[in-house]
Amino acid sequence: MITVVVIDMQNAYFEDPALGRRRDELVEACNELIGAARSRGVNVLLVKTEHERDKSTWTLNMLEDDQGFIFRGSEQADFVPGLITADLPQLVKTRDSAFLGTDILWRLRNWESDTVVLAGVSTHNCVAQTGADAFGHNIRVVYAADATGSEDGESAEALLSILSREYRQAALSHPEIEKLLDER
């Protein structure tokens, strides 16, 4: 079974000008992917990052810089306007990988998922780290090339190349993903 996982499509990440310019395009691409999955009865999981103001969930670099962000309940933590979220399960994470400190593996096992299609931001951080950790749990990964974005395109391209070569994780276009969804 396949599960579509949409990562960090939140206001905070689109404050970066490089991603901000692509927000509408990425929302549309994620919505198309969500729609394709739902129309085929494929599970979709929305993943978001949230931190506590008391520093208890901060990453090492946030602690070193004494600067947190994307606090629970803030506008930064909200999903971007226009993203389909109604009736979709959500998972909150505090690290780049959706696998670290969450119940995503249980959810995927409950859904009998052996493959995830990853979409969202940022390709070179949260999306790639989630993909690498999925590999560690023997879960196949496909990256939704049209529905992922990064503020650092060069790093994103390099990481996807490594993950493709080393872990056999392909980046596919929307029509290729629809074909994959139809085959499952």
Distance CA 116, CA 5 (A): 7
Short-list 68, 88, 78, CA closest to 10? 78
Asked if the model's pLDDT at residue 42 lies above 90, the reply is yes
Provide the CATH number for the domain around residue 141.
Answer: 3.40.50.850
* Angstrom distance (rounded) from CA 63 to CA 67: 7
The alpha helices in 40-145, defined as continuous H runs, are: 60-65, 104-110, 128-136
pLDDT given at position 181: 94
**Tens digit of each residue's pLDDT (9 = 90 or more) over 62-79:** 999 999 999 999 999 999
For residue 46, the enclosing domain spans 2-183
Q: pLDDT tens for residues 1-33?
A: 999 999 999 999 999 998 899 999 999 999 999
Q: Domain count of the chain?
A: 1
Q: Kindly provide the b/e burial profile for residues 70-103, where b requires at least 16 CB atoms within 10 angstroms of the residue's own CB.
A: bbeeeebbebbeebbbeebeeebbbbbbbbeebe
Q: Are the C-beta atoms of 62 and 44 separated by less than 8 Å?
A: no
